[in-house]
Amino acid sequence: MSRHGASRVAALGAAAGLVTCLVTGLATGAQAQSPKLWRHGIIEPKSDAGLVLMVAQKDFAERFGLKIDVVKFKNVGLAVKALLAGDLESIEAGAAEGIVAAAQGADLKIAGCTWPGQRHVVLARASVASVEELKGKTIAASAPGLVPDLLTRALLDKHGLTPSDVKIASFAADPDRFRALIAGGVDAAVVTPDYLPIAPKDIRLLAAGRDVIPKFMRLCIEMTGKTLQDRRGEAARFLAAEITAMRHARCRKDEALKLTREATAAKPDDPRPEFVFDDAVRNLDYDPTLPIPIDKLAWMQEQLIKTGSIKQPVDFEKMVDRDVRAKALEVAGKEKGGCY
């Protein structure tokens, strides 16, 4: 080889080595950076724990440069307060509560909905053969404006009854409503479907919430406008981690059920984890694409206005953030369909 040719080869080799060093340095630098802490609040999960908590498992957070700290709350009200106080970057909470907070002037935004399906059911004593037979009887629901109360009122209206035709007893939580039904203190109760597989034989399914109020959504990921402004890139990466984890959970049933049993201390023969998983996936209540269905939000808002929970409507074009969701889907990779 001529001296000129040898020099050219050496120069090309040096350039290639420089490029390799630069690429290696960038990758090493990215890995060396400490993951950014992202505090995410959830309502204490039940038999859906394997789906809700998956984002904090494996390396779903780390691969997007985050360290996710999941904080559990007894109820949505406490989670919303913590978010607005700046103690959290995001929460997975009821869309209705988010709308109420925004209507009251809170800086709260919806970035995507993890559980756009309605999961509550109405259980009744076997002696109640139809909704019409609830007339003169007692229904265990909740405070006005919350899902159990709205579902109860919608069910009565659908069957030609009014709230004055029954007695609506307010209970704070599902376990209280279920216990009251089992004890015979009430004739029907609105609860999550977790209780269906463990209900006694004298308790029956009277109505499924998804059939009565199909536009009522369960959970959305909510953030403050300040967080979305100050940490927008990290917000998109957090949503990407959620999307990736949700896809994984939906397609790895065994892993999801194992996580549920560990998180709730459920016994091996407890049928609830598998029942809830199958029910959520089969009915598309759980959606890794994090949709933001404005028509459902608008319907929910109408019901909240009717019950007096809010006085003025919310401008959803200002309350929702479609762009951060779109970026998250791009970062997470397009949905391939099926399990992978």
Number of structural domains found in the chain: 2
What is the span of the domain harbouring residue 149?
Answer: 121-212
Q: Do residues 250 and 318 both lie within one domain?
A: yes
| Tens digit of each residue's pLDDT (9 = 90 or more) over 93-137 | 999 899 999 999 999 999 999 999 888 999 999 999 999 999 999
- On the question of pLDDT at 334 being above 90, the answer is no
- The angle at the Cα of 161, spanning 310 to 209, to the nearest 5 degrees, equals 65
Q: Do residues 144 and 286 both lie within one domain?
A: no
Closest to 150 in 3D by CA, of 196, 87, 99: 99
- On the question of pLDDT at 27 being above 60, the answer is no
In the predicted model, what is the mean pLDDT of residues 36-41? Answer: 97
Q: Do residues 234 and 263 both lie within one domain?
A: yes
In a domain, 112, yes or no: yes
Amino acid occupying residue 283:
N
* Element housing 38 (H / E): strand 36-43
| Tens digit of each residue's pLDDT (9 = 90 or more) over 214-223 | 998 999 999 9
Q: Do residues 74 and 201 both lie within one domain?
A: no
Task: Among 212, 232, 265, identify where a domain stops.
Answer: 212
Q: Do residues 223 and 161 both lie within one domain?
A: no
Q: Specify the pLDDT at position 129.
A: 95
| Tens digit of each residue's pLDDT (9 = 90 or more) over 144-195 | 878 899 899 999 999 999 999 999 999 988 999 999 999 999 999 999 999 9
Instruction: Tell me how far apart the alpha carbons of residues 100 and 301 are, in angstroms, rounded to a whole number.
Output: 8
DSSP-derived letter for residue 335 is -
Q: Specify the pLDDT at position 240.
A: 97
In a domain, 98, yes or no: yes
| Tens digit of each residue's pLDDT (9 = 90 or more) over 44-66 | 989 999 999 999 999 999 999 99
Q: Do residues 242 and 203 both lie within one domain?
A: no
